[in-house]
């Protein structure tokens, strides 16, 4: 009986899903999450992406090709995310590219996108070794990975202490979300600790991390020069409040970018003042592209955010950043395979591999400074590795540094070693990039 | 009328104590199996296999596992997902480190490891029960995930702390399409569901139920509660372990320990509460309710939105789904606190008398 039911429901699903494919449309599935504990991030990010796609369509699409999208609620849950991906991937003639904005869902899609030949982006999260496009042809951690971010943090701390040489003998505490996410940068930080001679102490924060007294007591006994905070969600404001209680100066705490949004600092109130965080994109509405979104999209009532005050917030601009990269990849693919045509996922992947968002191109797009220039290749699916640092002054994030990178050569080597090990374990033969255009 | 057993005589003890003593039930079960094994593989789409049927079957198996422990043996547990994680990570390591091991043997090995861990965490059940035991099994949930994250050996020192399941190869055949993966999962789940049903009807099942209903009385009539409880923990964890391995191998592919979070444990617990405690059917019904219903709701809301041009904002639609889902849970629990399986049983009893109830 129960299986009859399944069959019936399945049939209903299929009937609902069969939509006709239009020729001049490029379909982008949106695996968003607007309910649950991470709703603030999901609604801001995907709201930003949809706002930019709307803007592209208002401006006539990509050489006349309109973007279409459909949302599916994942609740930040791997099973729901996989279901959404499977449901959406065949609609409107097939998905162009997918971005789950969730590590768990991204892992669930890893093999699926390779089998389905649909490129997946994991902008600013996910596996760092996926930056090696020879082993991971279908995964694009566009912009900057966690490893490059950790390297940039060390470079930034080097600047703060007046040169890398002064890092020797310094004490750095690494407070991390005790999960795969929090552990991701440890190999990089260990390598730098050995190279630069600083003392690294790792202190795990047990998720969700709403009591951190014992960890900050440990910090107080250790008296580190700097604390790197690699948290997520409620853990971040709690860390700042607890640091204030224990008298640890907040301007000596450097946060990962997922600990660097308004949602992370405002709940901590005054305790957050002076806190420094990494960022892979800028925020605010001062960029021409953001002005266009305010005027053309929200001005005509087509905006996606319900709370207009969130336009230009950090999650919103991150979504716009993602959408610009995808749109430009499709445009790049059209340059190669035929302007004004619908691109196949393979062609879009080619576009993602040949993305060249130079400063000049970013200026044309009105997004200069919104995110650093990105130039990808067959072997390099990351394309930037640049991070900037910002400080919360109680009302706003103030820029401390321009976009900067750490020791990229060293990170690249670690990425290649890690990818080679993965390939050996999975018996994958890496692509020969010299043979591909 | 259709469901009348007039003229069906049972002439042997075997026939009388069969799983399906009524002929119509046997026919219905065969029909369900035929649909699942023959018709669905012929007609269903890859979407149906990989997004709905596979997770439904895997979580049904986990729910049957938890039902053995909580429903039959009466030991409340919040660690089902952690035992799934043990099964998945153990299977991964068996395939990785034992050369030439068949993948099915690795699943069994994963299940056995989960059973061992289950026995260890079941030891407190000898002294504590009810909510206190639930808290003790909560410790299993946290400890196991912590250990899998902390100890690099479990993930073969993967820098991200994730495992990527190896391909499923049985007798040289690669089970790599959604359909073939579905058939593997279906075969394993069918066999294990049958085994669970028989265990529950047999000697050990009666021991579990006796311990559940009153352990002192059970002891008085000669049942050893320690053995029965630990046996329940072992069997339950074995089921969860195999389900966890299937979750990694035939569903998600690459998994982090976080995929087996407390949230999943709660979902499995809700499955048996809504499906029906102490029944095998309840595992399937509960899993269908928790896995499939939200998807149906989501599709329905979107379809209504499209056809009626309501232009509901997506955030409202997402919240609407959750509200309707919550209301349905309350509705079913108010109508029948013993779960969907009980509703099914009652309707069957009514059908037997229909149209002339006494």
Query: pLDDT tens digits, residue range A280-298?
Result: 999 999 999 999 999 999 9
The proportion of chain A whose per-residue pLDDT surpasses 90, expressed as a percent, equals 80
What residue in A sits closest to B321 (Cα-Cα)? A73
Most confident of A315-324, B18-27, B294-303: A315-324
The residue range of the domain holding B72 is: 22-261
Question: Mutate which of A105, A107, A136, A427 to test chain B, going by most B C-beta atoms within 10 A?
Answer: A107
CA within 13 Å, CB half, A287: 23
Query: pLDDT tens digits, residue range B247-276?
Result: 999 999 888 888 899 999 999 999 999 999
Domains A25-144+283-375 and A146-279+389-409 share a fold: yes
Task: With CA atoms as reference, report the closest residue to B41 among B247, B182, B191.
Answer: B182
**Which two structure tokens, joined as six digits, stand for B206?**
């009666």
- Across B314-321, average pLDDT: 84
Question: Mutate which of B60, B177, B251, B314 to test chain A, going by most A C-beta atoms within 10 A?
Answer: B314
Of B255, B294, B315, the CB nearest to A107: B255
What's the pLDDT score for residue B114?
97
Residue with tokens 């709660």: B266
Q: How confident is the model at residue B352 (pLDDT cuts 50, 70, 90)?
A: confident
CA distance B344 to B257: 36
What residue in B sits closest to A415 (Cα-Cα)? B159
Instruction: Evaluate the CA torsion angle B8, B13, B15, B20 in order and state its sign.
Output: positive
Distance from CA of B3 to the nearest CA of A (A): 15
Min mean pLDDT across A39-53, B252-266, B306-320 is at: B306-320
For chain A, what are the domain ranges?
25-144+283-375, 146-279+389-409
Query: pLDDT tens digits, residue range A48-71?
Result: 999 999 999 999 999 999 999 999
Query: pLDDT tens digits, residue range B41-96?
Result: 999 999 999 999 999 999 999 999 999 999 999 999 999 999 999 999 999 999 99
**Residues of chain A contacting B313 with CB distance shorter than 8 Å:** 306
Min mean pLDDT across A3-12, A422-431, B146-155, B194-203 is at: A3-12
Task: With CA atoms as reference, report the closest residue to A397 among A283, A317, A286.
Answer: A283
Q: Is residue A71 within 8 angstroms of chain B, CB to CB?
A: yes
Q: Is residue A112 within 8 angstroms of chain B, CB to CB?
A: yes
State pTM to two decimals: 0.88
What residue in A sits closest to B57 (Cα-Cα)? A3
Question: How are beta strands A66-73 and A25-32 bridged, if at all?
Answer: parallel
Q: Is A344 exposed, middle or buried (0-12, 13-18, 19+ CB in 10 A)?
A: middle
What's the pLDDT score for residue A17?
43
CA distance B165 to B62: 19
Q: How confident is the model at residue A19 (pLDDT cuts 50, 70, 90)?
A: very low
Q: Is residue B243 part of a domain?
A: yes
**Residue positions counted in chain B:** 358
Q: What are phi and psi of A391, to 5 degrees?
A: -125, 135
Task: With CA atoms as reference, report the closest residue to B63 among B257, B288, B263.
Answer: B288
- Across B224-239, average pLDDT: 96
Contact (CB<8Å) A112/B50: yes
Is CATH 3.40.50.2300 what the domain over A25-144+283-375 is classified as, yes or no?
A: yes
Contact (CB<8Å) A35/B292: no
Interface of B with A in 19-38 (CB under 8 A): 28, 32, 35-36
Interface of A with B in 205-234 (CB under 8 A): 206
Measure Cα distances from A434 to A350, A409, A437 in Å: 15, 20, 8
| Whether residue A208 has a cis bond before it, omega within 30° of 0 | yes
Distance from CA of A273 to the nearest CA of B (A): 32
What's the pLDDT score for residue A3?
52
Interface of B with A in 194-213 (CB under 8 A): none
User: Does the structure show a pLDDT above 70 at A6?
Assistant: no
Q: How confident is the model at residue A437 (pLDDT cuts 50, 70, 90)?
A: low
User: Does the structure show a pLDDT above 80 at B358?
Assistant: no
Look at the domain A146-279+389-409 and name its fold: Rossmann fold (3.40.50)
CB atoms under 10 Å from CB of B225, counted, come to 17
CA distance A362 to A160: 30
Contact (CB<8Å) A110/B317: no
Distance from CA of A113 to the nearest CA of B (A): 11
CA distance A286 to A320: 14
**How many CB pairs below 8 A link A and B?**
166
Distance from CA of A156 to the nearest CA of B (A): 24
Contact (CB<8Å) B40/A34: no
B87 contacts: CB under 8 Å, gap ≥ 6: B107, B110, B111, B113, B114, B240, B241, B242, B243, B244, B245
User: Does the structure show a pLDDT above 50 at B245?
Assistant: yes
- Across B333-346, average pLDDT: 91
What's the pLDDT score for residue B306?
83
- Cross-strand pairs, A54: none
**Residues of chain B contacting A78 with CB distance shorter than 8 Å:** 252, 259
User: Does the structure show a pLDDT above 60 at B151?
Assistant: yes
Q: Is residue B273 within 8 angstroms of chain A, CB to CB?
A: no
CA distance A115 to A248: 50
Helix (H) or strand (E) holding A296: none
Q: Is residue B281 within 8 angstroms of chain A, CB to CB?
A: yes
Instruction: Evaluate the CA torsion angle B342, B343, B344, B345 in order and state its sign.
Output: positive
**Residues of chain B contacting A184 with CB distance shorter than 8 Å:** 159-161
What residue in A sits closest to B305 (Cα-Cα)? A16
Q: Is residue B73 part of a domain?
A: yes
Instruction: Evaluate the CA torsion angle B228, B230, B233, B236 in order and state its sign.
Output: negative
- Across A381-408, average pLDDT: 94
CA distance A114 to B268: 30
Q: Is residue B251 within 8 angstroms of chain A, CB to CB?
A: yes
Contact (CB<8Å) A86/B55: no
Of B45, B252, B296, the CB nearest to A14: B45
The proportion of chain B whose per-residue pLDDT surpasses 90, expressed as a percent, equals 65
User: Does the structure show a pLDDT above 80 at B356?
Assistant: no
**Which two structure tokens, joined as six digits, stand for A294?**
């305010």
Question: Mutate which of B42, B44, B51 to test chain A, going by most A C-beta atoms within 10 A?
Answer: B51
Q: Is residue B274 within 8 angstroms of chain A, CB to CB?
A: no
Query: pLDDT tens digits, residue range A169-199?
Result: 999 999 998 877 888 899 999 999 999 999 9
User: Does the structure show a pLDDT above 70 at A395?
Assistant: yes
**Which two structure tokens, joined as six digits, stand for A288?**
């021409």
The proportion of chain B whose per-residue pLDDT surpasses 70, expressed as a percent, equals 99
**Which two structure tokens, joined as six digits, stand for A78?**
């791997």
Q: Is residue B143 part of a domain?
A: yes
Count of domains forming chain B: 1
Q: How confident is the model at residue B242 (pLDDT cuts 50, 70, 90)?
A: very high
Contact (CB<8Å) B51/A82: yes
Query: pLDDT tens digits, residue range A195-246?
Result: 999 999 999 998 788 889 999 999 999 999 999 999 988 899 999 999 999 9
**Residues of chain A contacting B321 with CB distance shorter than 8 Å:** 73
Q: Is residue A322 within 8 Å of residue A31, measured between CB atoms?
A: no
Distance from CA of A334 to the nearest CA of B (A): 30
| Whether residue B55 has a cis bond before it, omega within 30° of 0 | no
Q: Is residue A24 within 8 Å of residue A65, measured between CB atoms?
A: yes
Most confident of B4-18, B227-241, B288-302, B329-343: B227-241
Q: Is A15 exposed, middle or buried (0-12, 13-18, 19+ CB in 10 A)?
A: exposed
Dmax (CA) of chain A: 72
Contact (CB<8Å) A34/B35: no
Task: With CA atoms as reference, report the closest residue to A326 among A20, A22, A23, A29.
Answer: A29
CA within 13 Å, CB half, B184: 27
What residue in B sits closest to A30 (Cα-Cα)? B314
User: Does the structure show a pLDDT above 50 at A21?
Assistant: no
Contact (CB<8Å) A73/B292: no
Contact (CB<8Å) B51/A16: no
Distance from CA of A4 to the nearest CA of B (A): 7
CA angle centred on A125, ends A271 and B158, rounded to 5°? 110
What's the pLDDT score for residue A13?
47
- Across A304-317, average pLDDT: 92
Mean pLDDT estimate for chain B: 91
What's the pLDDT score for residue A170?
95
CA distance A54 to A76: 24
Q: Secondary structure of chain A: what % helix, strand, coil (to 5)? A: 50, 15, 35
Q: Is residue A8 within 8 angstroms of chain B, CB to CB?
A: no
What's the pLDDT score for residue A22?
54
Most confident of A98-107, B64-73, B296-305: B64-73
What's the pLDDT score for residue A5?
52
Query: pLDDT tens digits, residue range B96-110?
Result: 999 989 999 999 999
Q: Is residue B279 part of a domain?
A: no
What's the pLDDT score for residue A20?
40
Question: Mutate which of A4, A5, A6, A34 to test chain B, going by most B C-beta atoms within 10 A?
Answer: A6
SS (H, E, C) chain B: CCCCCCCCCCCCHHHHCCCCCCHHHHHHHHHHHHHHHHHHHHHCCHHHHHHHHHHHHHHHHHHHHHHHHHHHCCCCCCCHHHHHHHHHHHHHHHHHHCCCCCHHHHHHHHHHHHHHHHHHHHHHHHCCCCHHHHHHHHHHHHHHHHHHHHCHHHHCCCCCCCEECCCEEECCEEECCHHHHHHHHHHHHHHHHHHHHHHHHCHHHHHHHHHHHCHHHHHHCCCCHHHHHHHHHHHHHHHHHHHHHHHHHHHHCEECHHHHCHHHHHHHHHHHHHHCCCCHHHHHHHHHHHHHHHHHHHHHHHHHHHHHCCCCCHHHHHHHHHHHHHHHHHHHHHHCCCCHHHHHHHHHHHHHHCCCCC
Residue with tokens 């950043």: A321
Interface of B with A in 86-105 (CB under 8 A): 96
């Amino acid at each position: 009986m129960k299986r009859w039911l399944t069959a019936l429901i399945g049939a209903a699903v299929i009937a609902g899903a069969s939509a006709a494919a239009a020729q001049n449309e490029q379909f982008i599935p949106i695996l968003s999450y607007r309910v649950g504990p991470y709703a603030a991030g999901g609604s801001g990010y995907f709201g930003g992406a949809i706002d930019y796609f709307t803007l592209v369509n208002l401006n006539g699409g990509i050489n006349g090709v309109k973007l279409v999208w459909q949302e599916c609620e994942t609740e930040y849950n791997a099973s729901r995310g996989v279901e959404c991906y499977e449901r959406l991937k065949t609609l409107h003639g097939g998905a162009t590219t997918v971005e789950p904005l969730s590590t768990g869902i991204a892992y669930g899609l890893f093999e699926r996108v390779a089998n389905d030949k649909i490129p997946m982006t994991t902008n600013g999260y996910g596996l760092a070794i996926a930056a090696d496009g020879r082993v991971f042809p279908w995964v694009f951690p566009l912009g900057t990975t966690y490893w490059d971010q950790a390297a940039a943090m060390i470079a930034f701390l080097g600047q703060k202490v007046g040169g890398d040489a002064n890092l020797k003998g310094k004490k750095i505490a690494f407070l991390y979300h005790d999960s795969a996410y929090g552990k991701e940068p440890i190999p990089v930080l260990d390598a730098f600790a050995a190279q630069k001679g600083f003392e690294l102490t790792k202190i795990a924060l047990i998720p969700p991390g709403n009591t951190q007294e014992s960890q900050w007591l440990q910090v107080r006994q250790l008296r580190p020069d700097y604390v790197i905070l690699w948290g997520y969600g409620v853990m971040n404001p709690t860390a700042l409040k607890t640091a204030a209680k224990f008298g640890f100066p907040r301007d000596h705490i450097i946060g990962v970018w997922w600990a660097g949004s308004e949602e992370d600092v405002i709940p901590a109130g005054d305790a957050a003042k002076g806190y420094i965080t990494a960022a892979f994109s800028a925020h605010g509405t001062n960029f021409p592209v953001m002005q266009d979104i305010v005027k053309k999209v929200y001005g005509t009532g087509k905006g996606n955010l319900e709370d207009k005050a969130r336009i230009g917030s950090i999650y919103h601009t991150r979504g716009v950043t993602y959408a610009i990269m995808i749109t430009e990849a499709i445009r790049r693919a059209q340059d190669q395979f035929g302007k004004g045509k619908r691109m196949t996922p393979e062609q879009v992947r080619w576009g993602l591999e040949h993305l060249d968002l130079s400063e000049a191109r970013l200026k044309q797009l009105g997004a200069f400074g919104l995110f650093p220039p990105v130039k990808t290749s067959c072997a390099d699916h990351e394309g930037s590795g640049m991070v900037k640092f910002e400080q919360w002054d109680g009302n706003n994030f103030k820029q401390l540094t321009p976009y900067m990178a750490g020791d990229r050569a060293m990170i690249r080597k670690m990425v290649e070693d890690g990818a080679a090990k993965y390939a050996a374990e999975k018996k994958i033969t890496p692509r020969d990039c010299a043979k591909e255009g | 009328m259709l469901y009348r057993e007039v003229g069906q005589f049972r002439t042997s003890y075997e026939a009388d104590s069969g799983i399906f003593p009524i002929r119509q039930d046997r026919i219905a079960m065969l029909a369900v199996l035929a649909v699942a094994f023959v018709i669905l593989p012929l007609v269903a789409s890859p979407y149906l296999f990989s997004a709905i049927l596979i997770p439904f079957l895997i979580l049904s198996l986990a729910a049957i596992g938890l039902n053995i422990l909580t429903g039959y043996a009466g030991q409340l547990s919040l660690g089902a997902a952690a035992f799934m994680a043990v099964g998945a990570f153990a299977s991964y390591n068996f395939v990785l480190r034992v050369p030439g091991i068949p993948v099915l043997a690795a699943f069994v090995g994963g299940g056995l490891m989960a059973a061992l861990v289950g026995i260890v965490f079941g030891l407190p059940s000898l002294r504590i029960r009810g909510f206190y035991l639930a808290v003790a099994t909560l410790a299993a949930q946290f400890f196991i995930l912590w250990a899998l994250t902390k100890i690099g050996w479990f993930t073969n020192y993967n820098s991200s702390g994730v495992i990527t399941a190896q391909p499923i190869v049985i007798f040289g055949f690669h089970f790599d399409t959604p359909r073939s993966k579905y058939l593997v999962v279906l075969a394993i789940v069918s066999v294990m569901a049958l085994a669970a049903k028989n265990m529950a009807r047999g000697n050990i099942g009666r021991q579990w139920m006796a311990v559940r209903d009153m352990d002192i009385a059970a002891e008085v009539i000669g049942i050893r509660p320690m053995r029965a409880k630990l046996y329940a923990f072992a069997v339950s964890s074995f089921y969860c372990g195999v389900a966890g391995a299937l979750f990694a191998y035939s569903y998600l592919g690459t998994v982090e320990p976080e995929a087996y979070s407390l949230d999943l444990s709660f979902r499995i617990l809700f499955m048996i509460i809504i499906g029906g405690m102490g029944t095998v059917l309840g595992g399937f019904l509960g899993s269908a309710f928790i896995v499939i219903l939200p998807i149906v709701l989501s599709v329905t809301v979107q379809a209504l939105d499209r056809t009626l041009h309501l232009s509901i904002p997506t955030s409202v639609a997402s919240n609407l789904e959750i509200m309707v889902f919550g209301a349905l849970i309350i509705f079913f629990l108010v109508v029948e606190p013993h779960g969907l399986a009980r509703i099914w049983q009652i309707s069957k009893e009514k059908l037997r008398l229909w149209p002339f109830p006494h």
